[in-house]
Amino acid sequence: MSLVLHQDRQTSSLRLEGTFTFESHAQFRSVSQDLLNATTSSQISLNLSALTYMDSSALGMLLLLRETAEAKGVKILLEDPSPVVMEILKVVQFVKLFEIRER
């Protein structure tokens, strides 16, 4: 998986590209925690438009990030998920746990 970070005073975002699986957990955890610790905004956007697949461990990592972010008063937004990823998010009912913005 490839991660592309964007951060300025107004927004913090992370674009995930490729497949998000257990093999990506260390990279995702490191980058997302660094972003969360450095953010000055009240929201972090995860752009999922270039994500082609995610497994159950990836879903768990999203839940952990959400929990950590909420403790710091930061909201996690899932933005523009690819059709395959959106179907996964619907099946596991993440649509009830996260704000998901489709374009």
Residues 45, 75: Cα–Cα separation, whole Å = 8
Query: What SS3 class is residue 8?
Result: coil
Note the pTM of the prediction, 2 decimals: 0.90
The single-letter DSSP state of residue 27 is H
Tens digits of residue pLDDT in 46-85: 999 999 999 999 999 999 999 999 999 999 999 999 999 9
pLDDT at 39: 83
Query: For residue 44, how many other CB atoms are within 10 A of its CB?
Result: 21
**8 A C-beta contact, residue 29 and residue 61:** yes
Q: Taking 80 as the threshold, does the pLDDT of residue 9 lie above it?
A: no
pLDDT at 70: 94
The percent of residues in the chain predicted with pLDDT above 90, rounded, is: 79
pLDDT at 88: 96
Domains for the chain: give ranges and CATH numbers. 2-101 (3.30.750.24)
Q: Give backbone dihedrals phi and psi of 72, rounded to 5 degrees, phi first.
A: -100, 5
- Of 76, 69, 59, nearest to 22 by C-alpha is 59
Q: How far is CA 21 from CA 37, 41, 51, 58, in A?
A: 23, 27, 11, 5
